[in-house]
Amino acid sequence: MTKFNQSFKQRVINFYLQHGKNRSLTRQHFQLAEQTLNRCIKQFNHNGNNGLEVRGKKQTYSPEFKLSVVQAVKQGKCSAESACLHFGIANLWIISQWLQAFERQGINGLMPKPKGRPSIKPQYPKMPPKPKTED
């Protein structure tokens, strides 16, 4: 569940624009953290009203997409914060996790991890049945 819905974000942006783009007044009026307000404003400036949309369920990203984002940040083409806006990623934390995984494990760190409880496998392979001998 998201903390703020689209209508609330729209009210924040409208208040911000009506009061001369005064960030401190907007933060005090809506009792928002500075980082939250800044993220909301950046999303609006980059994507307009579409940037304020609440994303649905947890989104999964392909390893190729993750690699392209990581390479863009590591090559200095954009900062992690601007990569969030450019690639449409919900949170800066996601990119930092990808960067850490890439540093530790390379491309394998960006591969999806198996979900759920691991299956119980026998330690030894099954022995073939003994051939039946006729007496």
Structure tokens given for 29:
């009026």
| pLDDT at position 100 | 94
Rounded CA-CA distance 91/81 in Å is: 9
Q: Is the pLDDT of residue 104 over 90?
A: yes
Q: What is the pLDDT of residue 96?
A: 93
| Average of per-residue pLDDT across 38-42 | 81
Question: Mean pLDDT for the chain?
Answer: 83
d(CA 76, CA 82): 11
The whole-number pLDDT of residue 102 equals: 94
Top-confidence residue, 3 or 14: 14
The Cα angle at residue 22 between residues 47 and 17, in degrees rounded to 5: 45
Rounded Cα gap, residues 66 and 72, in angstroms: 10
pLDDT of 1 reads 34
Domain boundaries defined on the chain: 6-52, 63-110
pLDDT for residue 64: 94
